[in-house]
Amino acid sequence: MENIDLQAFTLYWLVIWAVLGSAITPLIFDHRHRSPWQGALLGLVIGVISGQLFGRLILTLLLPVLPAAATWLSMLGGLVLLLPFWWLIKPASQISPRHNGFVAGTITPLTFYLLLLSVLPLAWAILLAFFDYSPRRVGGPVLGLGGENPFVGLQYFQTMITGEGRDGLIFQNSLRNTLVFTALVLPLNMLITIPLAAMIESVHRFFKAIFRTIYFLPVVTSSVGVAVMWGYIYNTQYGLLNDVLGNFGITPIGWLQDPRANILGIPAALLAVVVAYLWQDFGYNLVIFIAALQNIPDSLKEAARVDGASPVQVFRYITLPLLRPTIMVTSILTVISSFQVFDLIQVMTQGGPGRIGLTRVLVLDIYENAFRFEKMGWAASISLAMFLVVALLTVVQTRVLRTRWEY
C-alpha cells in the first residue's frame, strides 16, 4: 500500500458514508413509522464506522489481487453494516401522522457537511493563530501543535498592532491597501449601479432584458481572463489606454509598474485594479437594484408626480429611501467581496509595484505566508484579524443603514 494515500481515502470514506447513511436511513425509519431524526443519527454513526473499518479492510485484501478495482470497491465498505441495519429495522406499532424523513435526510447531511468542511476548518484556523506552525516541522502529538510548532499566544496580534519587523510592516501595508481599495470600490459601485438601475428600469421591457444581460456578463467572466484583458489595456508600451493618452500628447504611464505614478495621492496601480474590479463586479449589484426597483409600488411615484415632484425629486425622496434596505445588503456584500479580492491583483500586479507592494492586500498576504513561506500560524492570525475587521464593518453598516419600516 505504498502508493495509496490512506489519509485521502479515509476522508472519502468518511464523507461518502456519513452523507449516505444520514440521508437514506431517515427515509427508511419514516417509512416504518419510526423517528427519522433518530434514524439520521444512527445512519450517520453506522455509516462512518462501517465505511472506515470495511473500506480499509477491502482495500488491504484486494489491493494485491485487484489493484485496479480495489480502490473503487473500498468505497462500498459502508454498505457492510448499513444494509443489514436497514433490513433489521422493524415497523413501530404506532403510526406517526408526521412524515419528516425527507426533511431529516436532507438537513442532517448538510449539517454534517458544514461542520466538516466549514466549522472545523474555521476552528482549526483560529487555533493555528496562536501557534508558530509550519507543516514542515514536527510538532507535538496533538494535531502537530507544540514541540517545534510552539505556542506563541497573542504575539502575532501584538506584531500586527505595533508593526514590528518585516511581517508587521507588510501586514499594516496590506490592511491599509485593503481598506483604501474597499473605500474606493463601495461608493463608486453604488454611484454607478443605483442610477444605472433606475435608468434601465425606465426603458422598454425588451431593452431592459438586453441591458441586464450585457451588464451582468462580466460577473460570470473568469477573473483571470478579466485581469489579463485589463493588463493589456494598462500595458505601458502597447496598451490601449496609453495609446489614447498619447493622441493628446501625454507621456505613456506605467500604470501597473511605476511606484511613483499616482492620482490625487492614490497609487495608479491600485486605481487601475479598482477600475478592473468595478467593471467585473458592478453588474451583480445592478441586477439586485433592478429587482428592488420593480418591487417599489408605482402608486407612490404617481402620487409624488401628481403633487408636482420632478423625476429627480421622485428619485431622491421616494426611490432612494425605499431602496435603503437593498443598499444595506449590497453594501455589506460589496465590502465582504472587496476584502476577498485576490485573483485580479495576483494576475495584474502580484501585489506590486514598490518594495512592500502598493497593491498588496490581505488575502494575497495570507496566501503567500501560508503557501509560499509556509508560515501557517501567521497566515491564520491574519485571517482572523481580517474576519474581525469585516465583522466590525458589517455591524457598523447594519447600524447605519438599517430601517424599522417595510413597504
Q: Spell out the residues 6+ positions from residue 361 whose beta carbon is closer than 8 angstroms to its own.
A: 174, 177, 178, 181, 341, 342, 345, 351
In a domain, 372, yes or no: yes
Q: Name the domain boundary from 78, 110, 128.
A: 128
Same domain, 170 and 313: yes
pLDDT of residue 286: 94
Pair 108, 226 in one domain: no
Q: Pick 160 or 90 by higher pLDDT.
A: 160
User: What are the residues facing 139 on neighbouring strands?
Assistant: 147
Domain count for the chain: 2
Q: Is 135 inside a domain boundary?
A: no
**Cα 208 to the chain's mean position, in Å?**
30
Residue 178's pLDDT is 97
- DSSP string of 228-251, one letter each residue: HHHHHHT-TTT-HHHHHHHTTTPP
Judgement on whether residues 179 and 67 belong to the same structural domain of the protein: no
The answer as to whether 224 is a domain residue is yes
Residues 191 and 291 in one domain: yes
| 86 and 197 share one domain | no
| Tens-digit pLDDT profile for residues 297-334 | 888 888 888 888 888 888 888 888 889 999 999 999 99
pLDDT at residue 395 tops 90? yes
Same domain, yes or no: 101 and 223: no
Q: For residue 146, is it within any domain?
A: no
Q: What is the mean pLDDT of residues 132-154?
A: 86
Non-local CB neighbours of 318 within 8 Å, separated by 6+ positions: 296, 300, 301, 304, 309
**Dist. CA 331–CA 189, nearest whole Å:** 9
Angle between helices 268-294 and 223-233 (to 10 degrees): 130
Task: Please enumerate, as own/partner, the contacts of 394-402 that have beta carbons within 8 Å and a separation of 24 or more.
Answer: 394/332, 394/335, 394/336, 397/328, 397/331, 397/332, 397/335, 398/328, 398/332, 401/324, 401/325, 401/327, 401/328, 401/331, 402/325, 402/328
149 part of a folded domain: no
Confidence band for 279, pLDDT divided at 50, 70 and 90: very high
pTM tops 0.75, yes or no = yes
* pLDDT for residue 354: 84
d(CA 348, CA 257): 10
Does 277 lie in the same domain as 362? yes
**Can you give the length of the chain in residues?**
407
Same domain, 330 and 375: yes
Q: Give 304's DSSP letter.
A: H
Give the integer Cα–Cα distance in Å for 208 and 102.
Answer: 40
Task: Output the CA–CA distances (angstroms, integers) from residue 373 to 35, 134, 159, 167, 363, in the order listed.
Answer: 51, 9, 18, 12, 14
Q: Which of 128, 143, 177 marks a domain boundary?
A: 128
Cα gap 224→289, rounded to integer Å:
27
Shared domain check, 96 and 174: no
Are 108 and 44 contained in the same domain?
yes
Q: Say if CB 166 and CB 157 are below 8 A apart.
A: no
CB 255 within 8 A of CB 236: yes
Domain span at residue 10?
A: 6-128
Bridge partner residues of 151 (DSSP): 131
Reference 377, options 72, 145, 220, 97; nearest CA is: 145
The predicted pLDDT at position 138 comes to 79
Tens digits of residue pLDDT in 232-255: 999 988 889 989 988 888 888 889
Q: What's the pLDDT at 95?
A: 56
- Find the angle CA(20)-CA(26)-CA(28) to the nearest 5 degrees: 100
How does pLDDT run across 81-120, given as a tens digit for each residue? 999 999 998 887 665 556 688 888 999 999 998 898 889 9
pLDDT at 2 over 60: no
Task: Report, as an integer, the average pLDDT of 284-290.
Answer: 93
Tell me the CATH number at 330: 1.10.3720.10
List, in sequence order, every residue forming a beta bridge with 267; answer none if it has no partner. Answer: 262
The three three-digit cell numbers of residue 35, written as one number: 423517528
- Where does a domain end: 128, 145, 174? 128
Whether residue 386 is contained in a domain is answered as yes
342-381: pLDDT as tens digits: 999 999 999 989 888 999 999 999 999 999 989 999 999 9
The per-residue pLDDT of the chain, averaged, comes to 90
- State whether 93 and 176 are in the same domain: no
- Per the CB < 8 A criterion, the answer to whether 182 and 281 are in contact is no
Asked if residue 343 is part of any domain, the answer here is yes
* pLDDT attached to residue 98: 62
Examine the domain organization and report whether 77 and 192 are in the same domain: no
In angstroms, rounded to a whole number, what is the distance separating the alpha carbons of residues 131 and 375? 10
Does 406 reside within a domain? Answer: no
